[in-house]
Amino acid sequence: MNRPVAANLNDDVGRGSVEEKGERLFNRELSWLAFNRRVLEEARNPRHPLLERLRFLSISGDNLDEFFMVRVAGLKGQQLADIEECSADGLTPSQQLAAIAEEADQLTGNQQEVWSQLKAALTQSGLEVLGNDDIDAASGDWLDRHFREQVFPVLTPQAIDPAHPFPFIPNKGFSLIFDLKRISDSVPISELLMIPGTLPRFIRLPGDGARYIAIETLIRRQIATLFPGYEILSQGAFRIIRDSDIEVEEEAEDLVRFFRSAIKRRRRGRVIRLELEAGMPGDLAQLVREGIDARHALISESTGFLGIGDLQLLVEEDRPDLKFPPYTPRFPERIREHGGDCFAAIRSKDIVVHHPYESFEVVVAFLKQAADDPDVVAIKQTLYRAGKQSAVIRALIDAAEAGKSVTAVVELKARFDEEQNLLWANALERAGVQVVYGFIEWKTHAKVSMVVRREERGYRTYCHFGTGNYHPVTARIYTDMSFFTADPRVGRDVAQLFNYITGYVEPRNLELLVMSPHYLRTTLSALIDQEIENVRQGKPGEIWAKMNSLVDPAIIDKLYEASQAGVEIELVVRGICCLRPGVSGMSENIRVKSILGRFLEHSRIWCFGNGDDLPNRNARVYISSADWMPRNFDRRVEYMLPVENPTVHAQILDQVMVANLIDNEQSWRLLPDGRYERLQPGEDKPFNLHRYFMTNPSLSGRGAALAHSGTVPKLRLRRGH
């Protein structure tokens, strides 16, 4: 169980203002660390197969690396610039860094404990990670040959002395350092050995069973080969994390050129974190700190495996008995009923598709059909993250080469995907696609596709809206919604959205679509106000919302206002939540849960009761690309779309939202003090929403999934449901 996120701050915290703000809001960064602790707890979950638990452990490691590369780097930059602006909860950058350092150290210690437990359990299951003392003679001979032939030629030891200054070590660089003396004359020397990222972190030994050895274990075993004629006096390992954020300069004249340059600069960013192997002698540790200029870095020592994220390589072992049973997504029934004709299916009725239970291939099929159809005249597409193997990109290229008008809005500011997006942009432009990079100061985060088709009665616009990215890999592990419609009102709105991005023509008189950065915040506030007014008029006031993060102070205050007015609020917030629920007189009518399981909950669904006494019939239901964060409201192009089709409305509200709210096998409840408590089914009937949607009819069928199975009744979404 993680500790209260506002605890253990420095003594110099200004108690009055911090306590006042801290009573209303949890700290954003510490709330994120609490989320990553929940990820780590899934690595302890005995209900998961062993390699899936190892996957959760590696994810917690990668998550923590990215947190330091971006969030901690930003705070460190503020601290070094003597910026004392407080966070929304009243903490200065220095106070936040002190709290982060303590919590992160405890988290990394827990990661090592979990790795030790999983390593022992995996050994019992026939998957071993060997230490040097575990190598038998035959395996030792094979490793000697492997090292000489496959590893030794790639390694470059470097002496550290006045003639050989400390070399540059890249972000996430893992290195060994040695103090040696020459046996012949006892001359001392320090040697650095950077382990190239091209070498696998683990080497699989031949023979029966799955036996691995870490690359650093193999190298240490071969010291005599690397440094013949030398004796080791001391040694250690270390790993660094660098500032990897890219801040776009408003005066940047050429975004493409700017990002190509910025990506190169990012590789040489300030060292933010230095992880040292426990027991490294003080003189070697000091040599490392000075060599990488770690004066301002957060420094930690680890007694176990450095680079927890690299354990993902072991998860790739072919052991289906140690993984979740394979799952093949269903192709939407509605499309099959129309012989695979996406346009005919969408013309007949709006369609909602629930990923990953229903295949992302339907989105690809939609674009492929548009590319091949001679009656399609134009395609417009936003691209935030598309992955390395993108059928979406291929479809857009095919459409352009077929002579269609194709526009792609490629977001260069998609963090850590900038380089890949530059490559896609080049490929699209070569094929004749009109590539647009959007706004300098805002990210285009909306996931929208638009196809214009010539039909008997004129042009018809078909639209796709996603709550997630056009990314074939994440679409298999993220839960998201896809919504297809040929509603002409939506088509007109989407045309304005694209014109805004490509030509800065601000939308006017939108009929259904709501956009940020202009209208989304005010619309959401007005919807909350309406629920407050419903209560004042003696009607029910209810809000049910699902998102990834809840951070925006103004929206949180509006939710507090609604709670105090008597509005019942149920929130499913997977990650960061700065709202403090269940506080008497402030938020006693707000309940917050977080769901973590086989799939990553990613869809954004917002529902408002609308003062209706009937079971959910007239509630307002929206899907969106946005979370409730300042950046989504004020610095990104996002969409919010009402769902009016009765069937789709019921599918999203009565099926997806209800299933999220009644899940009790993968859910954590946020307590008023900031701790998260895992729900226990107890006497209630156990319900796992991921398992349910994997084993029941698809949403895109005839809208009878839950009613058909009887597993989840049609429920009124109120307190005590």
Per-residue pLDDT band at 421 (split at 50, 70, 90): low
Q: What is the pLDDT of residue 543?
A: 96
Per-residue pLDDT band at 399 (split at 50, 70, 90): very high
Residue 167, Cα to own-chain centre: how many angstroms? 33
Question: Exposed (0-12), middle (13-18) or buried (19+): which is 536, by Cβ within 10 Å?
Answer: exposed
> Per-residue pLDDT tens for 313-327?
999 999 999 999 999
Q: What is the pLDDT of residue 9?
A: 28
Per-residue pLDDT band at 425 (split at 50, 70, 90): confident
> Per-residue pLDDT tens for 683-703?
668 999 999 999 986 675 444
Q: What is the pLDDT of residue 629?
A: 95
Find the range with the poorest average confidence among 227-231, 439-443, 716-720.
716-720
> Per-residue pLDDT tens for 135-157?
999 999 999 999 999 999 999 99
Neighbours of 231 (CB within 10 A): 13
pLDDT mean over 240-251: 66
Nearest-Å Rg of the Cα atoms of the chain is: 27
Q: What is the pLDDT of residue 503?
A: 87
pLDDT mean over 227-248: 86
Per-residue pLDDT band at 413 (split at 50, 70, 90): low
The residues pairing with 354 across neighbouring beta strands, listed in sequence order, are 481
pLDDT mean over 288-311: 93
Find the range with the poorest average confidence among 18-22, 445-449, 608-612.
18-22
pLDDT mean over 202-216: 94
Q: What is the pLDDT of residue 207?
A: 86
Percent of the chain with pLDDT strictly greater than 70: 87
Whole-number Cα distances in Å, 408 to 259, 379, 432, 438: 18, 8, 11, 10
**Measured distance CA(493)–CA(470) in Å, rounded:** 21
pLDDT mean over 457-463: 95
DSSP 408: E
Q: What is the pLDDT of residue 657?
A: 95
Q: What is the pLDDT of residue 318?
A: 94
Whole-number Cα distances in Å, 501 to 258, 380, 409, 517: 19, 11, 8, 12
pLDDT mean over 442-468: 93
Q: What is the pLDDT of residue 249?
A: 45
Find the range with the poorest average confidence among 10-14, 178-182, 302-306, 656-660.
10-14
Catalytic residue among 48, 355, 445, 690, which?
Answer: 445
Question: Would you call 445 a catalytic residue per the annotation?
Answer: yes
Per-residue pLDDT band at 471 (split at 50, 70, 90): confident
pLDDT at 185 over 80: yes
Q: How far apart are the first and last CA of the chain?
A: 27
Per-residue pLDDT band at 258 (split at 50, 70, 90): very low
* Percentages (nearest 5) of helix, strand, coil residues in the chain: 40, 20, 40
Q: What is the pLDDT of residue 495?
A: 96
pLDDT at 492 over 90: yes
Strands 478-485 and 600-601: parallel
pLDDT mean over 55-60: 97
33 or 439: whose pLDDT is higher?
33
> Per-residue pLDDT tens for 550-583?
999 999 999 999 999 999 999 999 999 999 999 9
**Measured distance CA(347)–CA(338) in Å, rounded:** 11
Q: Which candidate, 681, 678, 622, 629, places its Cα nearest to that of 652?
A: 622
The residues pairing with 329 across neighbouring beta strands, listed in sequence order, are none
97 or 418: whose pLDDT is higher?
97
**Measured distance CA(393)–CA(496) in Å, rounded:** 23
Per-residue pLDDT band at 470 (split at 50, 70, 90): confident
Give yes or no for a contact between 424 and 382, defined as CB atoms under 8 angstroms apart: no
pLDDT at 474 over 60: yes
CA quadruple 419, 425, 430, 433: dihedral, nearest 10: 170
Quick one: tokens of 412? 């260069």
Instruction: Among 186-190, 249-253, 285-289, name the most confident range.
Output: 285-289
Widest pairwise Cα distance in the chain: 93
**Single-letter amino acid, residue 186:** S
Mean pLDDT of the chain: 87
Strands 620-624 and 478-485: unpaired
Per-residue pLDDT band at 259 (split at 50, 70, 90): very low
Find the range with the poorest average confidence among 106-110, 236-240, 611-615.
611-615
Give yes or no for a contact between 641 and 490, defined as CB atoms under 8 angstroms apart: yes
Quick one: tokens of 298? 């957060």
Residue 643, Cα to own-chain centre: how many angstroms? 26
Q: What is the pLDDT of residue 390?
A: 75
Q: Where are the alpha helices (DSSP H) in 402-441?
A: 418-430
> Per-residue pLDDT tens for 524-544?
999 999 999 999 999 999 999
Q: What is the pLDDT of residue 698?
A: 65
> Per-residue pLDDT tens for 602-630?
999 999 999 876 656 789 999 999 999 99
> Per-residue pLDDT tens for 542-552?
999 999 999 99
Instruction: Among 18-32, 357-371, 694-708, name the most confident range.
Output: 357-371
pLDDT at 444 over 80: yes
